[in-house]
Amino acid sequence: MEPLAEAMESDLAPASLSGALPFAYAKSHDVLLDWRNDQPILVYTGELQADVLLEVRRHLGQRFVVELVSPEFFQRRLTRGLSAYQQRGGADGRGHRC
């Protein structure tokens, strides 16, 4: 059975919507914030550190789902986030979803 994130990649919110983690943070911690049906989803690859969970919880101010994905899936989503970041003129990364 394929991971839920890969099965539903097309259902994830576009990278240009609000509520994202700053791009540099997402890249350095291997985490991305996606949304599905108004539910925040912390997508990660590798090992997820407790301090990252705490920071995302502080950033969002609400509960979220945690989902492990393959490194390839993560890289595709990160690249989409970078494209949105660059299109916005290199803002601080707030206000878009990776």
pTM of the model: 0.67
Give the pLDDT confidence of 3-56 residue by residue, as tens digits: 434 433 434 443 333 467 888 899 999 999 988 998 999 999 999 999 999 999
Give the pLDDT confidence of 61-97 residue by residue, as tens digits: 999 999 999 999 999 988 887 766 566 554 444 433 3
Domain 16-87, second-level architecture: 2-Layer Sandwich (3.30)
Any idea where the domains of the chain sit in the sequence? Answer: 16-87
Look at residue 84 in the predicted model and tell me its pLDDT.
63
- DSSP per residue, 11-75: GSPPTTSS-PPPHHHHHHHTEEEEEETTEEEEEE-SPPPHHHHHHHHHHHSS--EEEE--HHHHH
Local structure of residue 3 (DSSP, 8 states): -
- Tracing tokens 């994130």 back to the chain, one arrives at 5
> Cβ-count burial of 82 within 10 angstroms (0-12 exposed, 13-18 middle, 19+ buried)?
middle
* Cα 45 off chain centre by: 11
